[in-house]
Amino acid sequence: MDEQELIRQGAEARVYKTVVNGRPVIAKQRFSKSYRHPDLDVKLTRGRLNQEARSLKRCKENGIRVPDVIRVDKNSATLFIEFISGPTLKEWIIANASEEQEKERMASVGRILHKMHSFDIIHGDLTTSNMILYNGDQLVLIDFGLSQISPSTEDKAVDLYVLERAFISTHPNSERLFATVLEAYANSEAARLTLRRLEDVRQRGRKRDMSG
């Protein structure tokens, strides 16, 4: 592995851009938490590492565009994945001026999330920063560090709620954009059940906001 360039450090991992066998890759290294018992820390860290790799592979197997998993290094708790170049959906929305293009793009997001949920893949951290536009038009989902496999309608509704809150906080006056996402998402009875559960999740969120 060649020289590493730190591009982000979060609460759970450091993310580097590097090169493996001449190929640009992202290395996501999870770090230990000193407040946890060492044995528990190793178990939890490896569990999250393996789950992220499994979620990415499950997406790939079912035709959902995500980075390729190149290698999982359990000793260093590092996941090596394909580097995807392109602007994030967040950057695209901010720069884009065409309402027609926005509607088309949001519909694409809704269809992809419907497909992901139909295979019981819960992303866990859906934001417009965790979607990349590759080659200008191909939407790629990234950062599955909080993902899980679950058939739960509640988990799927919470996934959508997280994205809705991201739209509200990041993109002012974006209600129409998210409405288009949900309209495209709702193309099966299971998806419509999830949207009805989303309403319950919203109500709980409003109650929490009011109570502080």
Q: How confident is the model at residue 212 (pLDDT cuts 50, 70, 90)?
A: low
Statement to judge: residues 43 and 97 lie in one domain = no
How many domains would you assign to the chain?
Answer: 2
Tell me: do 104 and 203 sit in the same domain. Answer: yes
Give residue-wise pLDDT tens across range 28-81.
998 877 677 778 778 888 889 999 999 999 999 999 999 999 999 999 999 999
Which pLDDT value is given to residue 128? 97
Of 125, 137, 155, 209, catalytic: 125
Where does a domain end: 30, 65, 82? 82
The model's pTM? 0.90
Boundary-marking domain end, from 82, 102, 124: 82
Please state the rounded mean pLDDT for residues 82-88: 95
Q: Assess whether 95 and 72 both reside in one domain.
A: no
Return the pLDDT at 8: 83
> What sign results for the dihedral spanned by CA atoms 124, 127, 132, 65?
positive
Q: Verify whether residue 125 is a known catalytic residue.
A: yes
Residues 94, 173, single domain; the answer is: yes
Roughly what angle, to the nearest 10 degrees, separates helices 153-170 and 99-118? 160
Q: Which residues contact 196 (CB under 8 A, 6 or more apart)?
A: none
Domain membership of residue 30 as a residue range: 5-82
How much is the pLDDT for 13? 86
125 & 174 share domain = yes
Tell me the pLDDT tens digit for each residue of 6-35: 888 877 789 999 998 888 999 999 887 767
Is residue 211's pLDDT more than 60? no
